[in-house]
Amino acid sequence: MEEANAERIAAFTRLADDRLDASYRLATAIMRDDEEAKDAVHDAIVLAWQRWRSLRERSKFDAWFDRIVVNVCRNRLKASKRRRTKVIAPAASLSTPDVAPDVHRRIVVGQALDRLKPDDIVVITLRHFLDLQMDDIAALLGIPVSTAKTRLRAARSRLRTELESQQSDQVAR
């Protein structure tokens, strides 16, 4: 019995270790914060270990674990939205000419993403920051491809609205 348990632990450890870097990159892209990403991956490993017996085919570990990582990130984003406080800072520093346009664009997009729902952040990140195909996004989210496409289209629309709102706020100042 102990030998079987030791084998089970070794198998999980080997698979999780092999997936760690990719999982951290995935979580970092979604969370956009190194510490949050580390915490999310840690939580995902704990959750995966708890659900280890539910994985029927070890060959599908990567997809199974990535799905857990995405779900943990989504839940962490939802939780952070509930307790987020608004930081009041002068916006003028964003528009100063010495800020590189690419950096400025990333800041503006990041601020707009922060105002979206966690599901929107996840689908936009998977498609546009990680460059995943719709089949892969659907598999990661556990939804049909058509639903993934619909979610992405709606999330892009909401992001566009946020960006336009930010732009009009900047012009009004």
The answer on pLDDT for 135 being more than 70 is: yes
CATH code for the domain defined by 1-84: 1.10.1740.10
Nearest to 91 by CA among 173, 155, 13, 34: 173
Provide the mean pLDDT of the chain. Answer: 85
Please report, to the nearest 10 degrees, the dihedral formed by the alpha carbons of residues 84, 128, 30, 73 taken in order: 100
pLDDT for 104 equals 73
User: What are 19's two structure tokens?
Assistant: 């997936």
Name the CATH topology of 86-173: Arc Repressor Mutant, subunit A (1.10.10)
Which pLDDT score, from 0 to 100, does residue 29 have? 93
* Separation CA 75–CA 66 (nearest Å): 14
Average of pLDDT values for 97-105?
Answer: 63
- State the burial class of residue 114 (Cβ atoms within 10 Å of its Cβ: 0-12, 13-18, 19+): middle
More confident residue, 161 or 98: 161
* pTM (two decimals): 0.76
The least confident of 10-19, 66-75, 90-99 is 90-99
Sequence spans of domains, the chain: 1-84, 86-173
87 torsion bin: left (phi>0), alpha (psi -120 to 50), beta (else)? beta
